């Protein structure tokens, strides 16, 4: 393996390079003490039903306890871990660290997750779109040809949303080795196919940032806990730019207590296995409908499929109170639908609704709504 030594400082915005970060009361004093009169907090904890939560105090700015536990679960060092308010915060910080307004550009690989483009628009950064190929794999030569000295970030979503497929490891490696900017591998769904993670590469490639989240397999979408996994050089800029108290006390406390619990970990693993079984059930049942032409291989907790008249199916299901995602308008996704794997009962109801739809369609009767 060729190791890369990309000059990270060349990539960082000059104002961030020389930034003197805000120093909070809680980061200036970290030792043991019993009286804290340094942060203008209210000394009274006024919650009625959350025993033992120091909600009146500012949280640990660096979340060290939680990082130790998560790092252990992931087989990395706490120093390689950044925790954020969802992966969305990580995306936002990447733009703040690296992208000069109106001057730099990024590359995304459509059809893919929409937030990269929104974040680029907000930051006023050009998004150079290099479509995936017909197998939804990166076109490495075209991607590299689209870069210039102002290309700061390439976003690779693995497994890809909305198409559900894994990205070939060789393509990721080639991009890492031949691009002198930051390669962001978004692994939001990797917990459904853990052995495909790029996490073991973080010490080999100085330009690799991996994003993961607790929103999907870990069932904490409402908690807003995402992460970046990278080397200490890039990490230092994340820590420089982040809001001082970016993870609140409730999130840190709840996450810490649960991730320390063997029972919680076991439950989570069992639920992931159940979702994979349900995915196989859905795939089998869906493949019987002749209005569904293609169901793509999935490495995530959703199925991507191509159907005859996707918009009509979407509307029919919506009228039955079942919401799926119509992705027909994305490039390379004509008549594409994305269906999240639900509980056994939700999946059965989906299949029942589609059976009714198919009977209405085949007999020529209009659908009931």
Ligand X SMILES: *Cc1c(COP(=O)(O)O)cnc(C)c1O
Asked whether position 215 contacts ligand X by CB under 6 A, the answer is yes
252: CB partners within 8 A, 6+ apart: 59, 60, 63, 65, 66
CB 259 within 8 A of CB 70: yes
- Closest residue to ligand X, judged by C-beta, is 86
CB 117 within 8 A of CB 130: no
Candidate residues 58, 82, 98, 113; the one interacting with ligand X per rule CB under 6 A: 113
Q: Strand 182-186's sheet: what is its strand order? A: 81-84, 226-230, 208-213, 182-186, 151-157, 105-108, 126-129
Nearer CB in complex with ligand X: 157/313: 157
CA–CA distance, 366 with 80 (Å, rounded to integer): 57
Asked whether position 161 contacts ligand X by CB under 6 A, the answer is yes
CA–CA distance, 359 with 127 (Å, rounded to integer): 44
Q: Shortest gap between Cβ of 88 and ligand X (angstroms)?
A: 4
Asked whether position 226 contacts ligand X by CB under 6 A, the answer is yes
Nearer CB in complex with ligand X: 93/354: 93
Nearer CB in complex with ligand X: 206/213: 213
Phi-psi region at 272: left, alpha or beta (left = phi > 0; alpha = psi -120 to 50): alpha
Nearer CB in complex with ligand X: 151/215: 215
Q: Shortest gap between Cβ of 113 and ligand X (angstroms)?
A: 4
Nearer CB in complex with ligand X: 206/215: 215
Asked whether position 218 contacts ligand X by CB under 6 A, the answer is no
Please give the residues from 282 up to 301 whose contact with ligand X meets the rule CB under 6 A.
none
Nearer CB in complex with ligand X: 58/155: 155
* Choices 15-23, 84-92, 133-141, 323-331; region in contact with ligand X by CB under 6 A: 84-92
Asked whether position 157 contacts ligand X by CB under 6 A, the answer is yes
Asked whether position 110 contacts ligand X by CB under 6 A, the answer is no
Lookup: tokens for 58: 């500012």
The DSSP code sequence of 273-304 is HHHHHHHHHHHHHHTT-TTEEEE---SSSEEE
CA–CA distance, 97 with 233 (Å, rounded to integer): 12
Angle between helices 249-259 and 262-286 (to 10 degrees): 90
Q: x/- string (CB under 6 A) for ligand X, residues 171-210?
A: ---------------x-x----------------------
Please give the residues from 327 up to 346 whose contact with ligand X meets the rule CB under 6 A.
none
Candidate residues 165, 213, 230, 258; the one interacting with ligand X per rule CB under 6 A: 213
Candidate residues 61, 86, 110, 138; the one interacting with ligand X per rule CB under 6 A: 86
CA–CA distance, 198 with 184 (Å, rounded to integer): 11
Lookup: tokens for 207: 């330009």
Binding site for ligand X (CB under 6 A): 86-88, 113, 157, 161, 186, 188, 213, 215-216, 221, 226
């Amino acid at each position: 393996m060729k190791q890369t030594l990309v000059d990270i400082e060349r990539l960082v915005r000059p104002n961030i390079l020389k930034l003197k970060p805000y120093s909070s009361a809680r980061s200036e004093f970290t030792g043991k003490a019993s009286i804290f009169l340094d942060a203008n907090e209210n000394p009274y904890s006024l919650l009625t039903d959350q025993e033992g939560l120091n909600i009146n105090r500012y949280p640990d700015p660096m979340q060290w306890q939680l990082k130790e536990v998560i790092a252990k679960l992931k087989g990395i060092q706490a120093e390689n871990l950044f925790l954020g308010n969802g992966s969305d915060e990580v995306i936002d910080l990447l733009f703040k660290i690296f992208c000069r307004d109106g001057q730099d550009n990024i590359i995304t690989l459509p059809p893919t997750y929409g937030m990269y483009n929104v974040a680029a628009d907000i930051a006023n950064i050009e998004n150079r779109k290099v479509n995936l190929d017909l197998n939804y794999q990166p076109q490495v030569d075209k991607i590299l040809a689209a870069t210039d000295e102002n290309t700061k970030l390439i976003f690779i979503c693995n497994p890809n949303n909305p198409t559900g497929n894994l990205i070939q490891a060789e393509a990721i490696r080639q991009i890492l080795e031949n691009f002198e900017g930051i390669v962001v591998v978004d692994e939001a769904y990797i917990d459904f196919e853990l052995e495909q993670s790029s996490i073991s590469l973080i010490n080999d490639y100085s330009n690799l940032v991996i994003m993961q989240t607790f929103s999907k397999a870990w069932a904490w979408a409402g908690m807003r806990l995402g992460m970046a996994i990278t080397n200490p050089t890039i990490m230092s800029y994340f820590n420089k730019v982040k809001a001082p108290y970016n993870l609140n006390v409730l999130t840190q406390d709840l996450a810490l207590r649960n991730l320390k619990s063997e029972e919680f970990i076991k439950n989570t693993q069992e639920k992931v296995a159940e979702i994979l079984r349900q995915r196989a059930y859905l795939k089998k049942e869906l493949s019987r409908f002749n209005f569904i032409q293609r169901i793509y291989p999935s490495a995530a907790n959703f199925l991507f499929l191509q159907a005859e008249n996707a918009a009509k199916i979407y509307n029919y299901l919506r009228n039955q109170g079942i919401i799926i995602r119509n992705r027909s308008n994305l490039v390379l996704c004509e008549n594409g639908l994305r269906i999240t794997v639900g509980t056994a009962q939700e999946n059965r109801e989906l299949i029942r609704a589609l059976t009714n739809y198919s009977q209405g369609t085949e007999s020529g009767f209009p659908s009931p709504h």
